[in-house]
């Protein structure tokens, strides 16, 4: 089975249900905000919440999925409604911040709705701080293991 797991990678401090113009504008510029953003992003993907992901991704966002395919922001957003039901379990999250630039590295253990393991993905998400919030500009995923489905 082909995995389109560019997941988790990457989400907004609280669930946001609006377009980019209603995105939060006074997010702290710290590691805690980045970790919360990742969790929100993972949850938004589970819930097929394109609006929240829209707030997280910068206009120039690009992502390389587990198959090595490059996806631009518009493609990433368009795929959200078609995602297979799954749950994202983020682990081993580490943030690295350098002024207005940061990256988060971690592992996403993906399960089906019944809790059966589907895949394990190591990811790196790259962020810039602008307009009072962290915005994802890039991401990369590597498939560590799958159940062979």
pLDDT by residue, tens only, the chain of 149 residues: 333 333 333 333 333 333 445 788 899 999 999 999 999 999 999 999 999 999 999 999 999 999 999 999 999 999 999 999 999 999 999 999 999 999 999 999 999 999 999 999 999 999 999 999 999 999 999 999 876 54
Q: Is the pTM of this model over 0.85?
A: no
Instruction: Report the pLDDT value the prediction gives residue 35, as an integer from 0 to 100.
Output: 97
Domain residue spans of the chain: 20-146
CATH 3.40.718.10 fits 20-146, yes or no: no
63-99: b or e for each residue (b if 16 or more CB lie within 10 Å)?
Answer: bbbbeeeebebeebbeebeeeeebbbebeebebebee
* Chain centre to alpha carbon of residue 63: 10
């Amino acid at each position: 089975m082909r995995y389109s797991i560019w997941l988790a990678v990457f989400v907004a401090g609280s669930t946001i249900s609006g377009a980019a113009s209603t995105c939060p504008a006074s997010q702290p510029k710290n590691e805690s905000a980045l970790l919360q953003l990742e969790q929100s992003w993972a949850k938004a993907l589970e819930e097929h919440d394109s609006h929240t992901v829209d707030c997280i991704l910068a206009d120039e966002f690009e992502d390389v999925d587990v198959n090595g395919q490059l996806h631009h922001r518009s493609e990433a957003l368009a795929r959200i409604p078609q995602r297979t039901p799954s749950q994202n379990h983020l682990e081993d999250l580490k943030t690295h911040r350098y002024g207005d630039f940061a990256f988060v590295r971690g592992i996403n253990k993906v399960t089906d709705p019944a809790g059966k393991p589907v895949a394990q993905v190591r990811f790196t998400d790259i962020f810039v701080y602008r307009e009072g919030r962290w915005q994802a500009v890039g991401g990369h995923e590597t498939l560590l293991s799958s159940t062979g489905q």
